[in-house]
Structure formats: structure tokens, C-alpha cells
């Protein structure tokens, strides 16, 4: 995994889920852009209470910046084109809905 920082816009609603052992976690998707201005999807998961709460306070389309462990991935769209994506285990939500300041 790679330590990284990702900024973009939230895609859809954030979802709280429960694993088989009863632990709560949160999942979200972020639309980000690279230096070539290409869009890519970041699949976000958070386990710790602070980033979970911060993510749940956001809505579709909100600007967001996240820090955490990144794993690069590739997926194939309906036209058969390989597209980049990232999986991110969020450790901190750095910017969100009402502030540009660091939270937590």
C-alpha cells in the first residue's frame, strides 16, 4: 500500500455497514482527477470513529480530501476500456462540507 492524499468530490451517498463480527465501517466513492485531467474513481473505506463520522456528515457532490493507505487498481468499463481506480483506507478526512480546515 501507498500512503497518500486524495481530493475530489463525493459520488453518491456515504453508507454505514456492519461486518460479520458486528463492527461498523463506512464506505464511499470519490471522483478525482489526475494531472492529465482524467477522472478516476476512489473507493473509500473507513473503520475508525473519526473518519467514519466525518464521511457520514457529507452529501453527494461535496468536495473532500482524504489521507490514508492507497492501493492502485484497474477496472474495465462497458466499452472494454481499462480505467484506473484507487482503493483508500481512510485514516483522516482533511476537508469536507463546511470547512477547508483540517478536522480531527
Residue 99 confidence (pLDDT) above 80: no
Q: For position 63, what pLDDT does the model report?
A: 95
pTM value is 0.84
Q: For position 47, what pLDDT does the model report?
A: 96
The hierarchical CATH code for the domain 2-95 is 2.40.50.140
Q: Are 67 and 55 in contact (CB under 8 A)?
A: no
Using one digit for the tens of pLDDT, what is the confidence trace for 21-73? Answer: 999 999 999 999 988 888 889 999 999 999 999 999 999 999 999 999 999 99
Residue 102 confidence (pLDDT) above 90: no
Domain ranges of the chain: 2-95
Amino acid at each position: 500500500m501507498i500512503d497518500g492524499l486524495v481530493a475530489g468530490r463525493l459520488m453518491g451517498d456515504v453508507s454505514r455497514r456492519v461486518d460479520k463480527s458486528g463492527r461498523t465501517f463506512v464506505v464511499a466513492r470519490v471522483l478525482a482527477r489526475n494531472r492529465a485531467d482524467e477522472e478516476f474513481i476512489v473507493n473509500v473505506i473507513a473503520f475508525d470513529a473519526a473518519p467514519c463520522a466525518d464521511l457520514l456528515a457529507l452529501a453527494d457532490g461535496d468536495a473532500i480530501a482524504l489521507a490514508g493507505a492507497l492501493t492502485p487498481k484497474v477496472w474495465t468499463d462497458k466499452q472494454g476500456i481499462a480505467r484506473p481506480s484507487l482503493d483508500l483506507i481512510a485514516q483522516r478526512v482533511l476537508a469536507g462540507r463546511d470547512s477547508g480546515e483540517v478536522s480531527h
